[in-house]
Structure 1
Amino acid sequence: MGDVPDARRGRLIVYLGSAPGVGKTYAALGEAHRRLARGTDVVVAYVETHGREQTEAQAEGLEVVPRRHLEHRGASFTEMDVDAVLARGPAVVLVDELAHTNVPGSRHEKRADDVALLLDAGIDVITTVNIQHLESLNDEVERITGVRQRETVPDRVVREADQIQLIDMPPDALRRRMAHGNIYRPDKIDASLTSYFRVGNLTALRELALLWLADRVDDQLDDYRRAHRIQEPWPAKERIVVAVTGGPESETLIRRGARLAQRAAGAELLAVHVIATDGLHAADERRLERAQQLVASVGGTFHSVVGEDVSAAVVDFASGANATMIIVGVSRHGRLRRLFTGTTGDRIASLAGAVDVHLVTHDQVGGRLLSRPSLSPLSPGRQVAGWLGAVVLPLVLAAALHAVDDTDDLALATLALLASTVVVALVGGLLPALAGAVIGFLALNYFFTPPTGTFTVSEPRNVLALVVFVAVAAAVATVVDRASRRAAEALRARTEAATMSALSRSVLSGEDTAEAVVARLREVFGQDAVSLLRRAGSGWVVLASSGAPCAATPDEGDTRVRVDDDSVLALCGEPLRAEDQRVLEAFAVQAGLVLEHRRLRERERAEATSTALLRAVSHDLRTPLATMRAAVDGLLAPGVSGADRTELVAAVDASAGQLESLIDDLLDLSRLQSGLVHPVLTARSLDEVLPLAVAGHPGVDLEVEEPAPLVSTDAGLLGRVVANLVGNAVRHAGGAPVRVLAHERPDSVEVMVVDRGVGVPPEDRDRMFEPFQRLGDGTPGGLGLGLAVARGLTEALGGTLTPEETPGGGLTMVLSLPRAS
């Protein structure tokens, strides 16, 4: 490789064609000639002229690096010689057809990788590619043209180019070039004009190229604005930002934004939802989810940002996105609140600057003088206590002070009644506190303001004192109530966060079970019982439950939440509040993940067993088939004696039996793992199974405890497992006797097949369960189909099969089975 003259990375110049035949290679060759005329060292590493005279003429006068010749499947091919180009070390190299896939045996699989190597060497590269070869547009191109492009290049490669030159041509002009024979040979012209090169196809490809390149130019504009710290938007492209609150008007705003975006070709729709920094005022998650789905359905994107000031956050997002318009709904608040606090739309309009602000009216616009107060988060008992305190406490304090204090001090009474208002606000909330302030005002007027005993006030300063008392009491009650609500919301948010965190950890760990989910759900919400139900035909089955009695159908639950189309969580107990819905749905999502994980695990186990079995059977089928074929050929040969004929028939019979056994294994296990056949688990004595399994294997000692243990199993499948284990042990024991033992354990029964053969090293014991795994040395110690089938059947029976070293040498296979209850 030649020395790299400059440590810099080379520049990539891409000539992007909107369709085949528009002249991108011709234009790239023209650029090479212009650089050569300026004294630049330019070579051609690869150019494909397709036999076009104009392109071949354009390539004349340029140095061409010889191509590399490769042989593949008996044919000769030529590819770009990357090593030769690197050794030549030019300043600029021309490489045609960037999306090309190299012939096997080349340095890289894709020509784009060759180009990347040249760029790393500091060589500038001029290359070409058509729009239909970009990876992200492959599906769209196939829908338009009906042709699937087999050679593609990642969009990232072209987007990161230093310069992109679009080579475009009107569809009619391109079709004329085709008709004149400037693109394809005459025998292909008619077929091309009536298929790929139809006007509609060429127009659509042209639009794809223009839109893709416009996005790339837009990225460059964003980079330029960031590099030069330009904050104000440059309206180079129509971008509409919709401010989504999560309220009922959100869908109306999104649809209005989508209609406005459709009026401008290439416009983008972006929906933004601002999450408050304190995290206390959470939007309705279900409405936000519906808004996200609606945005996606109209071709927009949904974004969530965090901000203390909603208006400023929306404007900052719009400025960062270089938006041209912000759509915001008219305030839902009442007229009085809008009068004193203003509206989000007004504040956005004052901050937006050059960005247009579009106010949209909707059915939820507030028209009342006072907005409806939100429901109290306090319990009914506290609300009743608050109202009683509002009426009784001021009167009791006023009477006590009036009876004890002969001076009737107005200041002391004012402080005492103000304290009672605070106490009522803490206990019962805002409305009882305001009522208590009014009653305190009347008590102060009647008992402590001269002339006492009447509601008449003689001195103006006392009137002012009473008014100030009411104002201060109302303000203090409002602050205390709001602080109480915020504290309750913060506590609830902290509890929700802790619950969500626990759920997230269980999801990431993958160790959660359906039983754990329903138990945690019952604990968090204090329910009597929780059931996870799945639809089974016309009824329901309980997958997991916690507490008793549990609901057997969704209708029996007091609260129900959908997990998926066939699964439901049913809760029995106190009905949950609306605020609990978000956490409840999180539990439903977790339950769905658990069920999906269970299904995937079962499917993975079934596929693994089926794959292993197919590999094993396909390997083992050859031996009996070869034996049968040789025996049949012998029987058909002339002059076969009677003894030879008998021996050949016996060989055919033995091979047929072996072949039948393999096919039975294949069919039974395939049905079993696909869910079509299930083991029939019954209580069976090992005396019924083991003798039949070891029959036909000489030199096997069977030792079973008396009385023989009972196991929960399928006798036929267990017999196959033991027969396979014994057969493997006999083949690899080297003539030594094989022992089959059975022992009872507290929760299981172990069947051990013990041999005194060469054994298997500990590091290879997991690998030996792979079908026909010879452990890399080809010795007789390798194990094959028997162990692969045995492990698959054992897992289907709910047992385990593990290898252990036999003391003194050899291998012991331990088959653990569940005891019969």
Structure 2
Amino acid sequence: LVEDLGGTFHHVIGEDVPAALLEFARGVNATQIVLGVSRRKGWQYVLGPGVGATVARESGPDLDVHLITHDKAGKGRGLATIPRSQLGRARLIWGWLVGVVCPVALWVLLGMVDLGLANGMLLFLSVTVAAALLGGLYPALASALLGSLPLNYYYTEPLHRLTISDPRNIVALVIFVGVAVSVASVVDLAARRTHQAARLRSESEILSFLAGSVLRGETSLEALLERVRETFGMESVALLERESDVDPWTCAGSVGPAPSVRPEDADVDMPVGDHMALALSGRVLPASDRRVLAAFAAQAAVVLDRQRLQHEADQAKELAEGNRIRTALLAAVSHDLRTPLAGIKAAVTSLRSDDVAWSEEDQAELLEGIEEGADRLDHLVGNLLDMSRLQTGTVSPLIREIDLDEVVPMALGGVPEDSVELDIPETLPMVAVDAGLLERSVGNLVENAVKYSPVDEPVLVSASALADRVEVRVVDRGPGVPDEAKERIFAPFQRHGDSPRGAGVGLGLAVARGFAEAMGGTLNAEDTPGGGLTMVLTVRAVDHRPDQATAPDLATASAERQAS
């Protein structure tokens, strides 16, 4: 009936019924409570107010309590609810054993030894205190009552009868029972306060964890749900959501076996807003735990929203990066492609013109311009294709053991001979690289260094061994790069400053690093002492050198790389 009317049914567990109801109501953000008046007789009000009156008194200004009466109100049977002790099960068992067995054993002992009334009372009081310390109020009451019987039987007139003729003995026995009850009450209260302190400490630690995770934004949804499962001892936890009241529930995240697919199927469900709920399976939680569970549920919703926002931000970043690359590519096409094409077009038009008689020297110069323009186009298109292969993950290095002094010189063909100094020791160990990729990487580094170096300052290309690695350094004396831009220059279509000679689209360094990482190496930028920039290409070294040269293998690898 409750579900047909659009409500939900919950089992509320608690040691104090009014407190459990109020905690549950506040946990689900309720504003009104409707209670039926309990059936209590007049004398029962001496033991304390009923559940309805207590709920109404403790509800505060945030909850409205409606009490519904009936014909049988005040006529039925019932007892006041007494909160259970917070003592553990083992302590209760030992308390009852001490409170019942020890008085019986002492009764037998007093039949054999005459200790006197004072000593007997002290002995039974000690047993009662022990029962109170172990089991709380009820075992102590049982011990006090059982202990008063042998004292009356053995030490009060008339002897060996359960009657008392001297009023002073009555006072002594009453005081004995009163002391026992007082001690038991103190122990029971201390146990309750200890339990409350432990619960509050646990709640504060959990809330501190949640607050810290909110500030740091470190906790994932799965980790948070696992923390919920461990905290409350559940079998599975699921965060469910739906678009509207008529849509089916979907699972946004879950941990544990067989998570619930609907809040109605779970042992505990905590709503979060109108269309989200935290569903726990395993056991029914007491109402006192729902406050912390509500904090977990709210945090789970925040984490889910943050993950989705982060995903959307990543997608937006990827789209923005794609737009930036397309814009840079269009700029490259409009300038770096059109410039050599315009030169080639002008040279071809001039050669085909019949209006001017070109000398052989002029024709050779025009043909040289056409060749240079074609080389620039070939280099640009090659870098664009290489960058595309790197971004799509289609680069498959062919790793072989080679000598650096056979590959690095081949990478210098695209720059003037007097613009580079080469220092490759013959004693270097061999390296495990793809010859074609290494040649393209070093070639791009050298071309970039020559482009930014002064005309009278040649670029130095050197190599050295360092443990199990070999470093190839390309050193220039150009303007250098600030520290904050050293990583940015390796991004596609990035150019730092103005080049004194030539231009480019900013793909050379990006392609060089991509090829280096594809071979298992690294490429980083460092400052050149005295000014300039040094590119450090690190590759893996091998611990032996074969007897025969690998030039044929290098030629084959280079041909394969160019064909691919």
How far apart are the structure 1 equivalents of 2:88 and 2:488? 64
CA contact (8 A) 2:402 2:435 kept: no
CA-CA distance at 1:703 after TM superposition: 5.1
Structure 1 CA distance for aligned equivalents of residues 435 and 441 of structure 2: 10
CA drift of 1:727 comes to 3.9
Q: CA deviation at 1:732?
A: 1.9
**Is 2:440 aligned against 1:733?**
no
Quote the residue 1:624 is aligned against. 336
RMSD value, Cα: 6.6
Aligned counterpart for 1:369 among listed residues 71, 74, 78: 78
Alpha-carbon contact 2:24-2:290 (below 8 Å) kept:
no
Cα contact 1:621–1:659 (8 A) shared by 2: no
- Alpha-carbon deviation of 1:804? 1.9
Give the 3 Å change call, closer, same or farther, for CA 470–399 of structure 1 in structure 2.
same
Tell me how far apart the structure 2 counterparts of residues 630 and 793 of structure 1 sit (CA, whole Å). 31
Q: Is the 8 A contact 2:91 2:134 kept in 1?
A: yes
Matched, 1:329 2:50: no
Task: Give, as a single letter, the amino acid of the residue that structure 2 aligns with 1:803.
Answer: A
Q: 2:449 touches 2:474 (CA, 8 Å); kept in 1?
A: yes
Matched, 1:806 2:511: no
Measured at CA, do residues 762 and 340 of structure 1 come closer, stay the same or move farther in structure 2, by a change above 3 Å?
same
Corresponding residue for 2:314? 603
Return the structure number with greater strand share.
1
Q: Counterparts in 2 of 1:165-564, with a 5 A limit?
A: 291-292=28-29, 327-330=32-35, 335=40, 340-342=47-49, 346=53, 359=66, 369-370=78-79, 377-396=86-105, 406-409=115-118, 413-414=120-121, 416-459=123-166, 462-463=169-170, 466=173, 469-470=176-177, 473-502=180-209, 504-505=211-212, 507-509=214-216, 554-555=256-257
1:474-520 Cα shifts (integer Å, max 9, x gaps): 45423421321221230232244235425533553456799999999
2:550 alignment counterpart: none
Question: Does 1:662 pair with 2:384?
Answer: yes
SS at match of 2:373: helix
**Aligned mates of 2:442, 2:78 — CA distance in 1:** 85
> Does structure 1 retain, via aligned residues, the 8 Å contact 2:98–2:131?
yes
* Residues 1:756 and 2:468 aligned together: no
Residues in 1 aligned to 2:157 and 2:539: alpha-carbon distance in whole angstroms: 96
Inter-CA distance 469–752: structure 2 relative to 1 (3 Å threshold): farther
Do the aligned partners of residues 400 and 622 (structure 1) sit closer, same or farther apart at CA in structure 2, a change above 3 Å counting?
Answer: farther
Distance 1:582 1:653, change over 3 A: farther
Displacement of 1:623 after TM fit? 2.7
Aligned residue number for residue 431 of structure 2: 708
**Secondary structure in structure 1 of the residue aligned to 2:352:** coil
Q: TM-score, normalised by structure 1?
A: 0.42
SS at the partner of 1:804?
Answer: strand
Per-residue CA deviations over 1:271-291 (Å, capped at 9, x if unaligned) read xxxxxxxxxx798999866x2
Report if aligned partners of 2:387, 2:511 keep a CA contact under 8 Å in 1.
no
Quick check: 1:398–1:443 contact (8 Å CA) kept in 2?
yes
Any conservation in 1 of the 2:336–2:504 contact (CA below 8 Å)? no
8 A contact 2:38–2:52 mirrored in 1? no
5+ residue gaps, structure 2, are: 9-18, 239-254, 260-266, 273-277, 354-362, 543-564
- TM-score by structure 2 length? 0.57
CA distance in 1 between counterparts of 2:39 and 2:395 reads 68
Classify the secondary structure of the residue corresponding to 1:812.
strand
d(CA) in 1 for partners of 2:441 and 2:23?
A: 53
CA, structure 1 residues 647+708, in 2 after alignment: closer, same or farther (shift >3 Å)? Answer: same
How far is 1:789 from its partner? 3.4
Q: Kindly tell me: are residues 688 and 561 of structure 1, through their superposed partners in 2, closer, same or farther at Cα, counting changes over 3 Å? A: farther
Deviation per CA, 1:180-229: give whole Å up to 9, x if none. Answer: xxxxxxxxxxxxxxxxxxxxxxxxxxxxxxxxxxxxxxxxxxxxxxxxxx
* Whole-Å separation in 1 of the counterparts to 2:6 and 2:172: 53
Q: Which residue of 1 is the match for residue 373 of structure 2?
A: 651
Find the aligned partners of 1:741 and 1:575 in 2 and give their Cα distance. Answer: 68
Q: Aligned-pair distance for 1:404?
A: 5.9
CA distance in 2, matches of 1:532, 1:683: 49
Letter matched to residue 603 of structure 1: D
Q: Secondary structure at the match of 1:359?
A: strand
Distance 1:779 1:734, change over 3 A: closer
- Structure 1 residue runs of 5 or longer lacking an equivalent are 1-248, 257-280, 296-325, 534-552, 672-676
Q: Read off the aligned partner of 1:484 and give its amino acid letter.
A: A
Deviations 1:352-377 (A, max 9, x none): 99999661559xx9997246666765
2:204 counterpart letter in structure 1: A
Call closer, same or farther: CA 1:788–1:611 in 2, change over 3 Å.
farther
CA distance in 1, matches of 2:294, 2:471: 45
Larger radius of gyration: 2
Q: Note the 1:75-154 alignment, pairs <5 A.
A: none
How many angstroms does 1:400 deviate by? 5.8
- In the aligned structure 2, how far is the partner of 1:599 from the partner of 1:796? 31
Distance (Å, rounded) in 2 between the aligned partners of 1:561 and 1:725: 63
CA distance in 2, matches of 1:706, 1:354: 83
1:805 deviates by: 1.3
Change (3 A) 1:771 1:637: same
Change (3 A) 1:792 1:462: farther
Q: Residues 349 and 740 of structure 1: is their aligned pair in 2 closer, same or farther, counting only changes over 3 Å? A: same
Q: 1:368 to 1:777 in 2, by over 3 A?
A: farther
Cα 1:464–1:665 change in 2 (3 A) is same
Distance 1:802 1:792, change over 3 A: closer
Cα pair distance change 1:401/1:752, threshold 3 Å: farther
Per-residue CA deviations over 1:347-400 (Å, capped at 9, x if unaligned) read 7978999999661559xx999724666676544433332222222333455566
Task: Look up the SS of the partner of 2:454 in the other structure.
Answer: coil
Asked if the contact 1:773/1:783 (under 8 Å) is kept, the reply is no
Change (3 A) 1:387 1:662: same
Structure 1 residues 427 and 697, CA, compared in 2 at 3 Å: closer, same or farther?
Answer: farther
Distance 1:283 1:742 in 2: 77
CA–CA distance in 2 between the matches of 1:728 and 1:531?
59
Structure 2 distance, partners of 1:723, 1:448, is 113
Q: State the 1:742 CA deviation.
A: 6.7
Name the % identity.
33
